[in-house]
């Protein structure tokens, strides 16, 4: 493997962060310190807007307390899940789902949280559509089963009557 100078390696890593499709951000508590280009694109905010807002404002209210609690525990060194799904609020109120990977990183100036995320909104929409189709299919199966049982009961009654008539002419 080729050895890189530290400056070259830093430049390559920074460029990599800007061209990968995953969202990458670094925050300390509620303050965002870094976001990559994918964050701008996925959230609809400019980088300046994102860096000047508390991180919690991006997190959907349904998940805000959970994310805050985990971030604060993580900064204290407590064990919390490193991977989870959460809903976010994009510019204009658009809701999206992200699959998050989160790690605590110890730096000279203290710990920060490094996170990466993938937009799984379309996957979540497909899951919901599949759940709805399964529900509808279940309803159809129940309805047809009821009809089949009803027909079977009617046939039993008819066969009993025919059998009875054949036995007693």
In this predicted model, what pLDDT tens digit does every residue of 113-138 receive, in sequence order? 999 999 999 999 999 999 999 999 99
In this predicted model, what pLDDT tens digit does every residue of 27-47 receive, in sequence order? 987 789 999 999 999 999 999
How far are the Cα atoms of 84, 97, 119, 126 from residue 129, in angstroms, in the given order? 22, 15, 18, 5
| pLDDT over 80 at 163, yes or no | no
- pLDDT confidence of residue 46: 94
Q: Model's pTM, two decimal places?
A: 0.76
Q: What is the side-by-side strand order in the sheet with 31-35?
A: 31-35, 23-28, 110-119, 95-107, 83-89
In this predicted model, what pLDDT tens digit does every residue of 64-117 receive, in sequence order? 999 999 988 988 889 999 999 999 999 999 999 999 999 999 999 999 999 999
Among the four given CATH numbers 3.60.20.10, 2.60.40.10, 1.10.3720.10, 3.30.450.20, the one describing domain 6-119: 3.30.450.20
């Amino acid at each position: 493997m080729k050895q890189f100078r530290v400056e070259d390696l830093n430049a390559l890593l920074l460029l990599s962060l800007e061209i990968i499709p995953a969202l990458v951000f670094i925050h300390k508590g509620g303050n965002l310190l870094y976001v990559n280009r994918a964050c701008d694109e996925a959230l609809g905010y400019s980088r300046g807007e994102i860096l000047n807002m508390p991180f919690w404002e991006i997190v959907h209210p349904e998940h805000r307390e959970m994310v805050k609690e985990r971030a604060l525990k993580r900064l204290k060194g407590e064990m919390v899940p490193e991977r989870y799904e959460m809903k976010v609020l994009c510019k204009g109120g658009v809701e999206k789902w992200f699959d998050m990977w989160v790690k605590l990183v110890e730096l000279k100036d203290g710990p920060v949280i490094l996170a990466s995320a993938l937009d799984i909104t379309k996957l979540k929409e497909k899951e919901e559509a599949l759940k709805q189709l399964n529900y509808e299919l279940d309803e159809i199966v129940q309805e047809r089963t009821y009809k089949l049982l009803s027909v079977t009961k009617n046939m039993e009654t008819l066969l009993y009557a025919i059998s009875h008539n054949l036995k007693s002419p």
